[in-house]
Structure 1
Amino acid sequence: MNGNNELAAAAERVYRRMVDGSATDWGMNMDSWDWVPGVGVVSILAYAELVGKQEAIGYLQEWVERNKHLSEQAKVINSMAPYAIFPELYRRTGDGWYLEKALQIGDWMLTEAPRTREGAFEHTVTENASFPEQVWADTLFMAVLFMARLAKLTGESKYAKEAEFQLLVHLRLLQDPETGVLFHGWNCAERNHMSAARWTRANAWVVLACPWIAGEIASLLPASDEIADRYRKLAEGLLRDQGAEGMWATVMDQPGFYPETSGSAGIAAGWLAGIKLGWLDDTYKEAIDRALKGVMAQIGSDGTVQGVSGGTPVMPSVAAYDEIPCYPTLYGQGLTLILLSLALSNRGG
């Protein structure tokens, strides 16, 4: 088990590596408006809130000011991710611009964002690529988390109901009834899971987003037993696929594939979030400690998180996931930072 001082030092290194401003490559460049820096800023907010890193709030305000001119370039599901920090920035600053912008984006999602025939948000991206009628697990973290936080900020039930609906429809379409874990995607037109890969990072996005979203809307809607039950089945399924060293393979039921850090960090963070919400008990703590140990081993002395697979659409085959190269990314840093922050908060450190 890692001590609090060791976890705190690691979190600080991971955070500093994210905000040093030197990277211009796709994976580590904070200065764009898309899901990659979006995960970065969401994780920095979690670090500030859970560990009390107040200087991080100032960084987030500066980041928004520096990059908000980019926000209008594309309204797609993946570029919703950065808006998840707006409700908290509005609470802390009282700056009406954050609220005004958040309401504009929330209403766009309600009324204009492309949907599949089941009503799920179609997974749209800033890249020159189209995935018509496809539902991806990633969407819950990249877009629905923002909507849930907007619901809590405004007290508007329309946002809470949409967040709950999206959470349910994604779980219903993506969850494997036999194992409890999730497939990466669902094609609504063809009625299949495409390559049917049980991709680890897809599961990480959902096992973390699920309790976070449910916690945000709890004051506005009665608790959904179905969401909690499906979350517990997911958590149990993930436990069965954890490797001996505490990590998960990039496709979790393929133990010969390489171990992947971002997904492993996100799963352990999702378990901690579930414990905090009261959905899981302490029986998960041993597995969380093993995951922590495995993830910590991937953090370099300069805070760079290694072993992170690159951006991954739904691949044409399960085998193709093992061919995705690994390199440092903000979402790898971010999911690791969230795990470390939750672990410290859980231990009172």
Structure 2
Amino acid sequence: MKKLSLFVYSGLGIFTICFLFLCCKPIEKTKKTIASQKEQLISNKLKWSERMALSIMKRHPKAWQIDDHEAPKWDYKIGMILTAYEKLYAKTANQKYFDYIKGYADTLIDSTGAFQNFNPQDHNIDFINAGKILFGLYNKTKEQKYFTALKTLRRQFDDYPRTPSGGFWHKKIYPNQMWLDGLYMGEPFYARYTAEFEKGEKLNDVAHQFELLHDHAMDKKTGLYFHAWDESKKMPWANKETGTAPHIWLRALGWYGMALVDVLDYFPKDHPKRKELVVYLNELAVGVSKYQDVSGLWYQVPNLQSRKGNYLEASGSAMLVYAIAKGVHKGYLPANFKKVATKGLDGLIKKLIKVDADGEIHITQVCASAGLGGNPYRDGSFEYYMSEKIKVDNSHGLGAFLLAAIELDK
């Protein structure tokens, strides 16, 4: 009987130990999971800019992965996003924002300063845009490779193909065409480089690019700008009398506005072309304000709001918010335009930003891409702009929202 009791007690003891062991493991695991979840939560007490920045980093631990790229690529859209991270780093001094930028550059630029997969004869103005992050990297680290890469991009302008009037072609494959997009891709970099390393000797050339599109692409009826201008007037999409594209495209207006406020950072107050660029910005602000929807947003084709299929588009709306807000803050625009910008950001947040349970945020209704000509051929018709894919978290929208949210600091 004693032996049996001992056996029973021993068995119970072993059972208890095993039970506790098995129970404790999941408890321990659950604690770790809860801790991990807390680390991944993005607080709604943060400003919208940081909430978006952290959301992007959560989805894409390395910047080159944005837009679900399968391999690293020097990309104008990622360049725009990382210029916003530069602004965030300046505001917060959070090292992870700087490291995110540096990690991208170091993946695409080798120790000698050479770019991965770069052919200078391609003459693609889009390639210039991401180069803006190299100024800050060089200033902070003094690593020669960043300066070498800066000089490589600056040399692109020396033999870049131009229209007869002196405007940079959008790309080698688009002869004699200037697109509004190209002003943002090339001019802020060109202006900063010449201001910092060449005593501003090329600022007149920078201003000339804006003058050409102001003179040839502006629609006098609306005060807005057509997407592009073909100086040769030979493209099938071009108006045979004016050379302009058939329609006004919202994101092109956004690129133009952002290009203006960003190049003005590098024009001294006494530069003869500065006032002219400020006038252009004021004209744009007046023009787009007329077409702002009650929601605060703008339509994909902004002057045809009621046409069937048209929709409120995120990236172009955010770009205009940034351009107008910065214009007010810098004193280029009257203070009353702040209402236009604030209404725009509020509209983005209320209508187009979605928040997950873990605090991660997403931007919806972003036009994936749009252009003119090419293969397959894009005719610039209203139907064409409506046919392009509409995406969630497309990089155009991410970068533009970041810039707008940082500028308004909401």
TM-score computed with the length of structure 2 as normaliser: 0.75
Tell me how far 1:189 sits from its aligned partner. Answer: 0.5
User: Which runs of 5 or more residues in structure 2 are unaligned?
Assistant: 1-43, 110-114, 234-240, 373-377
Match of 2:99 in 1: 58
- Tell me by how many angstroms 1:67 deviates: 1.4
Is residue 2:261 matched to residue 1:211?
yes
Q: Aligned-pair distance for 1:194?
A: 4.3
Distance 1:30 1:234 in 2: 38
Residue of structure 2 aligned with 1:311, choices 369, 372, 383? 369
Q: What amino acid is the match of 2:333?
A: L
Q: Please give the alpha-carbon distance, in whole angstroms, between the structure 2 residues aligned to 1:148 and 1:37.
A: 20
Which residue is equivalent to 1:106? Answer: 154
Identity of aligned residues (%): 20
**Quick one: which amino acid aligns to residue 114 of structure 1?**
P
Q: Secondary structure at the match of 2:294?
A: coil
Equivalent of 1:176, from 219, 225, 240? Answer: 219
The answer to whether the aligner puts 1:331 opposite 2:385 as a matched pair is no
Maintained 8 Å contact 2:225/2:253: yes
Q: Which moved more, 1:45-54 or 1:231-240?
A: 45-54
- 2:86 aligned residue: 45
> Could you list the per-position Cα deviations for residues 178-225 of structure 1 after superposition, in whole angstroms to 9, with x for gaps in the alignment?
322111000110153444311110111111110210112326834532
Structure 1 residues 250-289: Cα deviation after superposition (integer angstroms, max 9, x where no partner): 0101213111000000001000111122111221122222
Unmatched tracts of structure 1, length 5 or more = none
Give the deviation of 1:48 after TM superposition: 2.4
Matches within 5 A, 1:83-98: 83-98=131-146
Conserved? CA contact 2:64–2:73, under 8 Å: no
Q: Which moved more, 1:26-35 or 1:245-254?
A: 26-35
Structure 1 residue 176: deviation in Å?
A: 2.0
Distance 1:287 1:53 in 2: 31
Q: Is the 8 A contact 2:296 2:345 kept in 1?
A: yes
CA contact (8 A) 2:125 2:171 kept: yes
**Amino acid corresponding to residue 312 of structure 1 in structure 2:** A
SS in 2 for 1:79: helix
Equivalent in the alignment of 1:278: 331
What TM-score, normalized to structure 1? 0.88
Q: How many Å separate the matches in 1 of 2:63 and 2:177?
A: 35
For residues 21 and 275 of structure 1, what CA distance do their matches in structure 2 show? Answer: 34
Partner of 1:76: 124
Matched, 1:124 2:167: no
Contact 2:84/2:399, CA 8 A, preserved across alignment: yes
| Offset, 1:122 | 0.5
Q: Hey, what does 2:229 align to over in structure 1?
A: 186
The residue aligned with 1:34 is 75
Aligned to 2:25: none
- Point out which structure has higher relative CO (alpha carbons under 8 A, 6+ apart): 1
CA distance in 1, matches of 2:59, 2:194: 29
Alignment CA distance shift 1:52-1:291 (3 Å): farther
Judge which range, 272-281 or 246-255, deviates more. Answer: 272-281
Deviation at 1:4, TM superposition (A): 8.2
Per the alignment, in what secondary structure is the counterpart of residue 122 of structure 1? coil
Aligned 8 A contact 2:222 2:287 in 1: yes
Partner of 1:138, secondary structure, is helix
Which whole-Å CA distance do the structure 2 matches of 1:276 and 1:185 have between them? 29
**SS of the residue 1:70 aligns to:** coil
The match for 2:348 is 295
For residues 289-312 of structure 1, the C-alpha deviation after alignment (integer angstroms, 9 at most, x for no partner) is 221112123223223221100111
Structure 1 residue identity aligned to 2:209:
Q
- Give the greater-gyration-radius structure (CA): 2
Q: How many residue pairs are counted as aligned between the two chains?
A: 338
Contact 1:14 1:333 in 2 (8 A): no
Amino acid at match of 1:261: A
Q: Structure 1 pair 34/7, CA: closer, same or farther in 2 (3 Å)? A: closer
| Cα deviations by residue, 1:119-139 (Å, 9 ceiling, x for unpaired) | 1110117xxxx2221110001
Q: Partners of 1:53 and 1:99 in 2: how far apart?
A: 24
